[in-house]
């Protein structure tokens, strides 16, 4: 019974530890240094506890399996958590030969911001529409664009941050990680 309890404890520590690691790396990538610092303190503590239990008995296969599976599970859960808690902004750029203004209007009707401007492409005049959205809005934005112009050229770019302007960001736990 003690073997199972130890393996479960190791598994739980690795899940928590790797979730903290993943979230810390996300914070660093987004230039959120204070939250990253706090997470690193807890991350190192959890790592030391889990490793201490494992290295006391390297011959225990259940402990090694619990350590490895806990690590993988923690990474997966952290990525899922990050998707739901933290804002992740994407710039969507749509280029259309004939429907740029209609694309911009349709995006606005869906509650997202859109900026449009005329440009000259390889084959002549085009309209470029740019919209900065949260990741969770990407599918809706792309569906909207392709509904108006199935032939639009669309690119997406992940953004590290945004300042000013119009963003339809939902309030919630994501504000915990703002500057």
pLDDT at 34: 93
Q: Mean pLDDT for each consecutive 10-residue tract of the chain (179 residues)?
A: 88 92 84 90 91 84 91 88 75 96 96 95 94 91 97 90 65 45
pLDDT in the model for residue 86: 65
DSSP state of 79: H
Predicted local distance difference test score (pLDDT) of residue 167: 65
The helix (run of H) or strand (run of E) holding residue 68 is helix 61-85
CA-closest candidate to residue 82, choices 39, 130, 20 = 20
The confidence score (pLDDT) of residue 148 equals: 97
Residue where a domain terminates, one of 85, 109, 144? 85
Boundary-marking domain end, from 85, 111, 146:
85
Tell which residue, 158, 65, 166, 68, has the closest CA to residue 112.
Answer: 166
Distance between CA 68 and CA 15 in Å, rounded?
A: 10
Q: Provide the pLDDT for residue 171.
A: 46
Q: Is residue 167 part of a domain?
A: no
46, 111: one domain? no
Residue 174: the pLDDT is 45
How many CB atoms are closer than 10 A to CB 48? 12
Q: Which of 85, 108, 141 is the last residue of a domain?
A: 85
Residue 110, pLDDT score: 94
Instruction: State the pLDDT at residue 40.
Output: 93
Q: What is the pTM of this model?
A: 0.60
């Amino acid at each position: 019974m003690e073997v199972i309890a130890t393996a479960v404890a190791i598994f739980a520590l690795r899940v928590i530890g790797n979730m903290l690691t993943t979230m810390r790396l996300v914070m660093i990538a987004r230039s959120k240094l204070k939250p990253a610092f706090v997470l690193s303190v807890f991350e190192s503590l959890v790592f030391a506890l889990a490793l201490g239990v494992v290295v006391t008995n390297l011959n225990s296969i259940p402990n090694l399996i619990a350590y490895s599976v806990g690590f993988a599970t923690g990474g997966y859960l952290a990525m899922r958590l990050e998707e739901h808690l933290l804002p992740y902004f994407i710039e969507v750029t749509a280029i259309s030969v004939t429907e740029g203004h209609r694309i911009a209007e349709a995006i606005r009707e869906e509650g997202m911001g859109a900026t449009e401007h005329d440009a000259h492409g390889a084959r002549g005049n085009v309209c470029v529409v740019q919209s900065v959205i949260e990741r969770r809005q990407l599918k809706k934005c792309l569906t909207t664009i392709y509904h108006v112009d199935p032939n639009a050229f669309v690119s997406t770019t992940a953004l590290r941050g945004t300042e000013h302007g119009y963003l339809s960001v939902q309030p919630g736990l994501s504000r915990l990680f703002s500057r």
